[in-house]
Amino acid sequence: MFITFEGIEGSGKTTQIRHAMEFLKQKGKDCLMTREPGGTITGQKIRSILLDPESNGMDPSTELLLYFADRAEHVNKIINPALSAGKTVLCDRYYDATKAYQGFARGLNMDLLDRLHKLIIHDLKPDITILLDLDPKTGLSRAWKQINEGQRAGVETRFEKETLDFHDKVRNGYLELARIEAKRFKIIDASNDENQVKKDIIKALS
């Protein structure tokens, strides 16, 4: 099974994906946890470019192709082999993030994104997508608190430095994707405390 976690900055994906993996392991599942960008050695180098605030002003097409380069490595070297081995793969961000960020927020053509996904990734889709939905103001406040306290890398703040309007577009994009594919998406209210969000995700996975 392929499970992805999506949401804006500060929505708690990284924390909650660990809770979900612990729950699934207790159920006897052989799990692999990974992330995008940066799930491979090559991907880590691509991640450093994509999330570096000094990359501010990067052309949206460049950004898009870097994400697809990361994903091609990730799917071919990590995700597909794990799924073929019968493992449950939990991934922090995947293709829905591309549609939300580069499609809805950056304004790139959705048909182009879908064509690239089918061409490069052969249209691999998650079985379940957990969408941690949160107001962008709250999410950014949480994210910057973690960065300032040293819980997150200060060198990976390019998206945190985007405008609030940008993050509103990302959130609305995610909600539209969830509306279109309601059976795949499980929308979780990420404004609740960590333990309640954990319970809601476990209920959705159950």
Return the pLDDT at 155.
78
Residue 89: beta bridge partners?
2, 32
In tens digits, what is the pLDDT along the chain, a chain of 206 residues?
999 999 999 999 999 999 999 999 999 999 999 999 999 999 999 999 999 999 999 999 999 999 999 999 999 999 999 999 999 999 999 999 999 999 999 999 999 999 999 999 998 999 999 999 999 999 999 999 988 987 777 779 999 999 999 999 999 999 999 999 999 999 999 999 999 999 999 999 99
CB distance 17 to 34 below 8 Å: no
Between CA 151 and CA 161, with CA 33 as vertex, the angle to 5 degrees is 40
Does the bond joining 60 to the residue before it have cis omega, within 30 degrees of 0? no
- Does residue 87 sit in helix, strand or coil? coil
All domains of the chain in start order, with CATH: 2-205 (3.40.50.300)
- Residues 36-64 have pLDDT tens digits of 999 999 999 999 999 999 999 999 999 99
> Could you tell me the two tokens for 112?
């182009």
Buried b / exposed e across 57-93, counting CB within 10 Å, b at 16+?
Answer: eeeeeebbebbbebbbbbbeebbbebbeeebbbbbbb
String of DSSP letters for 4-19: EEEESTTS-HHHHHHH
Return the pLDDT at 151.
76
Question: Which one, of 106, 32, 33, 9, lies nearest residue 66 by Cα?
Answer: 106
> Could you tell me the two tokens for 128?
């379940």
Return the pLDDT at 114.
96
Distance of CA 99 to the CA centre of its chain: 11
Q: What are phi and psi of 132, to 5 degrees?
A: -85, 100
Average pLDDT, the chain: 96
CA within 13 Å, CB half, 63: 21
Q: Is the pTM of this model over 0.85?
A: yes
Length of the chain: 206
Residue 4: beta bridge partners?
91, 129
